[in-house]
Amino acid sequence: MKPKPKILIVEDENNVALNIEQCLQNLDYKVCGIASTGQEAVEKTHSFHPNLVLIDIQLKGHLSGTEVAEKIISKFDIPIIFLTAYADLKILQRAKTVQPFGYILKPFKENELGTTIEIALYRSRHQKIRNQQLKLALHRAEEQYRLLIESVKDYAIFMLDAKGHVATWNSEAERISGYSRDEIVGKHFSIFLTPESIEKEDAQKYLETAIETGRTENEGWHLRKDGSLLWATIILARVNDDHGNLIGFSKIIRDLTERKKWEDRQKFLMDATEILTSSLDYYETLNRVAHVVVPTLADWCCIHLLDERNNIQCVSVAHKNPELEQWATEIQKRYPVDLKGTHGIANVIRTGKPDFCAEVPDQLLIENAYNEEHLSMMRSVNLKSYMTIPLLARGRILGCLSLLYSEQKRDLTEKDLELATELARRAAMAIDNAKLYEEAQTAIRARDEFLSIASHELKTPISSLKLQLQMTQRGINLSENKTPPVHKLFRAVDLSAKQVDRLTLLVDELLDVSKIRSGKLSFNFEEIDLVEILKEIQERFCNEIVHFELIAPPHVLGHWDRFRLEQVFVNLVGNAIKYAPGKPFRIEINQTFQDAIITVQDEGPGIDKEKQRRIFNRFERGDTSERISGLGLGLFIAKGVISGHGGSIDVESELGKGTKFTIVLPLQGTKEQMELAS
């Protein structure tokens, strides 16, 4: 059975109240109470929870009927019907603001009261249903909005109150800033500003601009909770109520830190590339790049290169303090890097792999220290982390680039390694290009010098040959039937033949160079006696060398090309005659189980260290003066021939103390192996 609606009567006249009660009972309503004052009405409403309240609009006492109605509606959300004996317009206007569910003029008929109550109860039920639906819809909308805000990445979206204090917070805001909801709500948004922005009173300026124009937008550095910097776009917009009054601000922070870092990295690489390509003096450009690295990327920057003798040389050290630069440079000279080292620079240059250390333990310093003094110096740097990147170009390791961090701990990431690797790649390319340019210039100079020498060398026998032919031609006078003596003809022919031989030798040398360069130098391997070859050469040059000493066992047999070996040793003897005329000359042969070792020693002027490194190159000569003939190809050919036999040739020399060539020739080995070696 459906329960009867409960009704509370609020009437200050007792007889009227009892009459209303009787009517309600007749209409089958349950009267839960009668109140004669406003305070009593509020208390009984709280106690009985009626379904409807009938209130005399002209209630006497401290609270009027409309005031009682306002309290009951606001506190308990219960429908109200006003009872009134007068249709006073002012009272009715006042009553409208309360939004009652009906009015009844006294005196009233019983059926009028019942109809008004039923309509009020019906409207109340449907309004509550509607309110619940609206409340549910609002809750769903709020939840959807919350989910939308929470799903947005790289955007912090939240509300500020009218004074700029944080009122709401989303999860992305927590991720971006580091502040949790409990930590940040209620705090002023200036907590995100840098000290420079706070000093310029930017927070107040942003609020004022948003109030005046509706919104403000800026991009710059902001602070996270941990003190790290965040590059972000900030949008601050004014939020008004339905009447246009300011109630707060919406704030959107877009995290652009990664984009900013990428832009800064690209700008850094562009600046570094501009420096690297500005000059072909790579020592100077590397030094400038190292000073661009500091302090943008690191506290220290060191660049090491491999020299021609495979020694590691420090070519640049950069630090913001010039005194520390000088100090570090002196340490590098005192304690050079050993290529055999197992860590850091040596390991990177040897393996071609980068070395990435996010936290440097003291044990690493101990393992790499030469002595206690060196260890103390390394500790004084207070090294916290480092990256060492190989300088690679065309598959060759040129050196390495080291970035060191000492002033504050830095969390190195893969992005840092990628940036350092790209910088190293560009630096290596610049070094390689500079070296190629230097080699090209050297080759051009060598070519020009060679053409000059070759034209001279070729012209000399041709001129001599031409002169001999002209003299012979003049000596033969057919018109007078005269001929020169036979011995003069023989001499002229002999001299001409020698010039032809010299021309042939020069042309053969040029052909051999071409064959060596193309890998097509041919060999005719057979078992021969090396001692026999050298004895024949000794006899051939005995008249041109004052003292030609040959120290050798009776026989040294091997599988070699006789003609090519003669070519090598004739060249070495010829060089001794040219560069050390009248000085003693010695060839010594020693034999091991696998090799024949031949040393060729003269007592000439010697070769300086710089030329020794290039002496086996094409067109290189120990003496470039015009008094010494030759194309500068003999030692290049000699090296090609010895290499074709699977052996080696080296030079040792000191100015004023002569020159010694050492040749190592394998005794055995198949013809195929030697052809492959060639």
pLDDT digits (tens, 9 = 90+) for 28-66: 899 999 999 989 999 999 999 999 999 988 888 888 888
Q: Nearest Cα to 301, choosing from 275, 279, 277, 328? A: 328
pLDDT tens figures, 106-136: 888 888 888 888 898 888 889 888 888 888 8
10 Å CB burial of residue 61 (0-12, 13-18, 19+) is middle
Predicted pLDDT of residue 249? 93
Evaluate whether 262-438 and 521-677 have a shared fold.
no
Task: List, in sequence order, the alpha helices (H) in 152-201.
Answer: 171-177, 181-184, 195-199
Helical packing angle, 282-296 and 257-276, nearest 10°: 160
The answer, yes or no, to whether residue 408 has pLDDT greater than 80, is no
Predicted pLDDT of residue 363? 84
Mean pLDDT (whole number) for 353-381: 83
Q: Which residue has the higher pLDDT, 210 or 472?
A: 210
Q: How far apart are the first and last CA of the chain?
A: 116
Q: Which residue has the higher pLDDT, 470 or 556?
A: 556
CB atoms within 10 A of CB 377: 19
d(CA 125, CA 52) in angstroms, rounded, equals: 11
For the question of whether the overall pTM of this predicted structure is more than 0.95, the answer is no
Which class would CATH give 262-438? alpha beta
Task: List, in sequence order, the alpha helices (H) in 519-612.
Answer: 530-541, 562-579, 609-612
10 Å CB burial of residue 117 (0-12, 13-18, 19+) is buried
Q: What is the 3-state secondary structure (H, E, C) of 421-463?
A: HHHHHHHHHHHHHHHHHHHHHHHHHHHHHHHHHHHHHHHHHHH
- Work out the pLDDT band at 482, boundaries 50, 70, 90: low
Mean per-residue pLDDT over the chain, rounded:
81
Bond into 295 cis (ω within 30): yes
pLDDT tens figures, 374-405: 888 888 888 888 888 999 998 899 999 988 88
d(CA 633, CA 649) in angstroms, rounded, equals: 15
d(CA 407, CA 384) in angstroms, rounded, equals: 8
- Work out the pLDDT band at 192, boundaries 50, 70, 90: very high
CATH number of 152-255: 3.30.450.20
The two tokens of residue 29 are 């309503």
- Looking at residue 191, the DSSP 8-state letter turns out to be G
Predicted pLDDT of residue 390? 93
Mean pLDDT (whole number) for 161-172: 90
The answer, yes or no, to whether residue 515 has pLDDT greater than 70, is no
Mean pLDDT (whole number) for 75-87: 83
CATH 3.40.50.2300 fits 6-132, yes or no: yes
Predicted pLDDT of residue 639? 86
- Looking at residue 479, the DSSP 8-state letter turns out to be G
With a CB cutoff of 8 Å and minimum separation 6, the contacts of 160 are 166, 167, 189, 236, 248, 249, 250, 251
The answer, yes or no, to whether residue 216 has pLDDT greater than 90, is yes
Predicted pLDDT of residue 209? 92
Predicted pLDDT of residue 674? 47
d(CA 570, CA 534) in angstroms, rounded, equals: 9
Task: Give domain 521-677's CATH number out of 3.30.450.80, 2.60.40.1840, 2.70.240.10, 3.30.565.10.
Answer: 3.30.565.10
- In which order are the strands placed within the sheet that holds 548-551? 548-551, 585-591, 595-602, 659-666, 648-653
Predicted pLDDT of residue 533? 86
Inter-CA distances, 583 with 218, 546, 657, 660, Å: 87, 7, 12, 14
pLDDT above 70 coverage of the chain, percent = 82
Predicted pLDDT of residue 500? 66
pLDDT tens figures, 621-630: 555 554 455 5
**Residue ranges of domains in the chain:** 6-132, 152-255, 262-438, 521-677
